[in-house]
Amino acid sequence: MRYTCTMTILEAVLLGIVEGITEFLPISSTGHLILTSSLLGLEHTEFLKSFEIAIQLGAIVSVVLLYWRSFLDIPLLGRIATAFVPTALVGAFLYPFIKGTLLGNELIVVVALAIGGAALILFELSRAHGTTESVTHISYGHAFLIGIAQSVAVIPGVSRSASTIVGGLLIGIDRVKIVEFSFLLAVPTMAAATILDLSQSAFLFTGREFTLLAVGFVVSCLVALAAITWLLRFVRTHTFIGFGIYRIFIAAVFYFFFLS
């Protein structure tokens, strides 16, 4: 059975902008896409769920464009692969549950946003400064622990970047370095998620739906390039407390105005 789609090109552009801005900030791109789709009145069809997964790959391409030299560093690739394993296993085993039950659930998103925001604030207030000098100095053991933290982000609203950042802060990695490692780890993680989803659903898409995917992909890539550059400058002189406060605020606003 083919999917039904009522999305317009403008809505695809708006969702691409939201994805590009939020993919690498610790505020949950998936959560914001779900909430934005609800505000736009888009029905959470199978196509919309696939769209929300696939356009994340556009943001990931921006990392490859900015950090392509890092993907030629064999020791670093080993650490990225190690961190990718836990999420790969969780995603492979729970894919039907994630897409069928978790994606599109606004209440889960709101709760995850609020809890994640509180966690960011608490960890920033209580942690000591990290000492890791570069991403290549992250040990394989620490990389695996970061991967375990990332796997929690299969819950929409948790935020893949927030979970990896909190995991890195917990084991003493410098704020800027864990952000950079989170960027790099996003590449295999989101590429695998997109390939897994499209391999099971792409044959159901119409030509118009592929056009919508292409629009969202390109827009998210361009916007993400600017977002990455901004975030790296921001974290050198600021903590993540502001992001934590924002997460709690947006969760409260959405709950009281749309879910209560």
pLDDT band at residue 130 using 50, 70 and 90 as cut-offs: low
| % pLDDT > 70, the chain | 92
pLDDT band at residue 197 using 50, 70 and 90 as cut-offs: confident
**Structural contact between residues 223 and 16, judged by C-beta atoms closer than 8 angstroms:** yes
Given this model, what pLDDT does residue 14 score? Answer: 96
How many Å apart are CA 224 and CA 221, to the nearest integer? 5
Residue 3 confidence (pLDDT) above 60: no
Of 138, 218, 120, 226, nearest to 182 by C-alpha is: 138
Tokens of 68: 């392509």
Tokens of 203: 């044959």
- Taking the CA atoms of residue 56, residue 57, residue 58 and residue 63 in that order, the dihedral angle to the nearest 10 degrees is 100
Instruction: Indicate the average pLDDT of the chain.
Output: 86
pLDDT in tens, 62-99: 999 999 999 999 999 999 999 999 988 988 788 777 77
> Tokens 């864990």 sit at which residue?
178
Given this model, what pLDDT does residue 129 score? Answer: 55
Tokens of 8: 């317009």
pLDDT in tens, 204-259: 777 888 899 999 999 999 999 999 999 999 988 888 999 999 999 999 988 887 77
Given this model, what pLDDT does residue 154 score? Answer: 86
Residue 34 confidence (pLDDT) above 70: yes
Tokens of 127: 């942690």
The neighbour count for residue 141, using CB atoms within 10 Å, is 10
Give residue 184's identity as a one-letter amino acid code. L
pLDDT band at residue 46 using 50, 70 and 90 as cut-offs: confident
Residue 203 confidence (pLDDT) above 70: no
119 Cβ contact partners less than 8 Å away, ≥ 6 residues apart:
162, 166, 244
Residue 33 confidence (pLDDT) above 70: yes
pLDDT band at residue 1 using 50, 70 and 90 as cut-offs: very low
What does pTM read for this prediction? 0.84
Given this model, what pLDDT does residue 5 score? Answer: 64
The DSSP secondary-structure symbol of 73 reads -
How many Å apart are CA 99 and CA 175, to the nearest integer? 32
> Tokens 């769920």 sit at which residue?
49
User: Which comes out higher in pLDDT, residue 132 or 152?
Assistant: 152
